[in-house]
């Protein structure tokens, strides 16, 4: 494993939304591991579900990074799959997994038979958490539904347009050189006020 391999693995972290969309759109059974971002304002890394609840918190997608995705290994149940993944990501990491071992506060998302479920790695075992990943439709998906003769919610359409416009503006800002984004402070006059 040379530096190119390590760089390619590290570069995956720069493509969060694309990787999450690929995971959600994947035809087969698959899983994703999310880990608390180092910039998490809640400071919930390694905290149990009881700790979160006692502080009035819940796992927020915005506080997490998508660390890894892969096909889901066969298992007799979701519980068994979670235990197998915990063991793998603690004792026998895949070669392309360059992140910390799975621990308390990590979230495992599983897509099995087209159904998505998310599971919080707690002090003991996993706790299912609904609505961790919002699967809101895109403008293109809503347009496709209309073309198929289905009715859609105008609120969903407005929400999708707003989300995609916001993403577009953020992407434009990120593409500008840093010096163009900085606001310049007004120059102080050399004259003293009297």
Tokens, residue 150: 């289905």
Q: Across the chain, what does the average pLDDT equal?
A: 82
Q: pLDDT tens-digit profile of 38-59?
A: 887 777 889 999 999 999 988 9
Asked whether residue 87 carries a pLDDT value surpassing 60, the answer given is yes
pLDDT-derived band at 72, boundaries 50, 70, 90: very high
Beta-strand (E) ranges in the chain?
30-36, 64-71, 107-112, 115-121, 126-128
Cβ-based neighbour number of residue 12 at 10 Å: 16
Which of 23-27, 38-42, 56-60, 69-73 shows the lowest per-residue confidence on average (mean pLDDT)?
38-42
Q: pTM of this prediction?
A: 0.65
Check if the beta carbon of residue 20 is closer than 8 Å to that of residue 133: yes
Mean pLDDT in residue range 3-14: 59
């Amino acid at each position: 494993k040379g530096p190119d391999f390590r760089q390619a693995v590290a570069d995956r972290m720069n493509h969060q939304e694309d990787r999450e969309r690929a995971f959600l759109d994947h035809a087969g059974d698959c899983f994703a591991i999310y880990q608390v971002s180092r910039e998490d304002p809640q400071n919930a890394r390694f905290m149990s579900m009881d700790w979160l609840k006692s502080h009035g918190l819940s796992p927020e997608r915005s506080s997490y990074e998508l660390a890894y995705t892969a096909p889901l290994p066969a298992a007799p149940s979701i519980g068994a799959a979670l235990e197998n993944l915990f063991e793998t990501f603690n004792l026998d990491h895949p070669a392309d997994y360059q992140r910390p071992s799975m621990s308390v506060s990590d979230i495992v998302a599983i897509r099995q038979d087209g159904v998505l479920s998310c599971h919080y790695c707690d002090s003991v075992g996993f706790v299912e958490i609904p609505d961790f990943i919002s699967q809101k439709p895109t403008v293109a998906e809503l347009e496709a539904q209309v073309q198929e003769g289905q009715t859609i919610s105008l609120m969903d359409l407005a929400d999708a347009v707003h989300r995609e416009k916001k993403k577009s503006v953020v992407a434009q800002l990120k593409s500008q050189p840093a010096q163009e984004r900085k606001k310049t402070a007004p120059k102080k006059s050399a004259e003293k006020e009297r």
